[in-house]
């Protein structure tokens, strides 16, 4: 079954490790075989991997496109996942789902689940940055 891709003018697509950028007009094409691809909105560049969960996404993105390095990447995934769990045990369900997808070679779906993990991480970080409520001192 063919996958139809519609690109907006100037939109980028990472296709089998090649970064393509559409010209000034909208374009539509079909991909007739199975190959790794990410639309511009799903591509995370290395300098954007500023948190541990974003580093995890960047790693999985690399594994998605570099099949030959998946075993080494999986070891790095386990190390990063343990770092995430130690920092925020509430992320365990996300990481379990991601790991199960990786074990089934469903890297695109693992990336989608990692985006949900990043959104959760962002909420945790925002909550951690809120100032503590003022508690009046006891008067005695």
Do 60 and 112 lie in one domain? The reply is yes
Residue 105 belongs to some domain of the structure = yes
Residue 83 belongs to some domain of the structure = yes
Do 32 and 79 lie in one domain? The reply is no
Q: φ and ψ at 126, to 5 degrees? A: -65, -40
Cβ atoms 83, 52 nearer than 8 A: yes
Residue 16 belongs to some domain of the structure = yes
Do 75 and 37 lie in one domain? The reply is no
Do 26 and 51 lie in one domain? The reply is no
Do 100 and 86 lie in one domain? The reply is yes
Do 69 and 106 lie in one domain? The reply is yes
Do 16 and 73 lie in one domain? The reply is no
Instruction: Summarize pLDDT for 72-128 with one digit per residue, the tens.
Output: 999 999 999 999 999 999 999 999 999 999 999 999 999 999 999 999 999 998 877
Residue 140 belongs to some domain of the structure = no
In the structure, what pLDDT confidence band is assigned to residue 129 with cuts at 50, 70 and 90? confident
Domain that holds residue 98: 46-129
Domain total for the chain?
2
Residue 137 belongs to some domain of the structure = no
Instruction: Summarize pLDDT for 23-61 with one digit per residue, the tens.
Output: 999 999 899 998 999 999 999 999 999 999 999 999 999
Do 50 and 37 lie in one domain? The reply is no
Q: Does the global pTM surpass 0.75?
A: yes
Do 30 and 51 lie in one domain? The reply is no
Residue 136 belongs to some domain of the structure = no
């Amino acid at each position: 079954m063919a996958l139809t891709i519609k690109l907006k003018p100037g939109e980028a697509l990472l296709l089998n490790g090649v970064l393509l950028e559409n010209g000034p007009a909208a374009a539509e094409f079909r991909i007739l075989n199975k190959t790794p691809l990410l639309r511009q909105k799903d591509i995370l560049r290395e300098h954007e991997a500023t948190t541990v969960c974003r580093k995890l996404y960047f790693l999985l993105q690399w594994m998605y496109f570099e099949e030959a390095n998946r075993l080494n990447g999986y070891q790095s995934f386990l190390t990063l996942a343990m770092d995430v769990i130690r920092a925020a045990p509430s992320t365990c369900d996300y990481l379990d789902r991601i790991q199960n997808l990786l074990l089934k070679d469903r890297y695109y779906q693992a990336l989608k689940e990692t985006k949900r993990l990043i959104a959760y991480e962002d909420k945790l970080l925002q909550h951690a940055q809120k100032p503590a409520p003022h508690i009046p001192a006891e008067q005695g």
